[in-house]
A and B are shown apart, each in its own frame.
Chain A
Amino acid sequence: MNALYIMIPLAMLLAGGFVGAFIWATKSGQWDDLDLAAHKAMTESNGKGESQE
């Protein structure tokens, strides 16, 4: 039974971590663009704009 006193905070921490990650993902617009991002990953090496001369 005593194990619960460790398990419960751990479980809550884990759940909190997931919720935190979800909040971060939503706020930083991870669900906004579900198509182009996947394609950009394929051309990552030359896809980024280079700094302007």
Chain B
Amino acid sequence: MANDDTHTVSYEQLPLRELMSRLAERDDLVEALRKHEVDAVVGDKSIAVVRLLEVERELQARTVELQNQNEELRKTRETLERQAGELERVNTELEAFTYSISHDLRNPLNHILLFVELLKSKSLPKLDEREQQYVGHLDTASKRLQQLLASTLKLFRISKASVGDSRVDLSELARRISEEMTAADPQRARRFEIAPGLAARGDEYLLQQLLQNLLANADKYSADSSPAIIEVGAEEPRDGYRVFYVRDNGIGFDPQKAEELFVPFVRLNQKKNADGTGIGLSVVQRIVHRHHGEVWAEGRPEEGATFYFRLPVPSDD
């Protein structure tokens, strides 16, 4: 039985015009959506603003930009890699050249040293005072040359040495070196303050050389301080590395020349002890670099110096 509200219509009675309009509207809506001509969708509870076309364009622009940047980066990296390769090659050649020069000079130099010795022991009394002075200069200069060659070869060896990778107790090494230094010069007013438990990861022999050089350097330039205080310590470990330092209360240095400290055969304080060839800190720098670390110095004239070096730490620390 038909409900009162229901009524039946025949196809002929359908409001065709209305129907066509609705269909046209529907097509229009689909078309608007397809062409991204819509910018908001209204829902019962919220309105979603859509920016499809804009977003697409923006994305495309950014993609192109990124591609350009990538291309530039790639070119830059290639250039840098090429330059690094060239630098390394030049460096290797230079080192080989230095090594062969130093090596080849040793033979003739040994002859000079030998004949200077002979001259001194056999002929010195026969020479007059001025001639004796000449021999003295010859002696000093040839020994100096011998030292320089030895230093150059030493630096070269550090560059080529294989680097061990074990746990190294820097506190213990520093303590032993300080005892040796104290034993060598017990009269000197000098105090070592070595923090306990400083461990690094690396080559024990090279790190011992490093500390030896830094402590000797600190000792040398705090000779006038009484007492000289030489401190060995470290900052907190970070990201597998730790910054260690050797500090003294000596004559310090001009901070503007901090970089020059590490250049071989350069001395900032010329008047100080003439012994040694001025490669101590170069040795330190090479050893740190061989451990993929960094080294730098802070100081002021008459206010002491601190040498920092960053080294990897054992993984269990």
Q: Do A and B come from one complex?
A: no
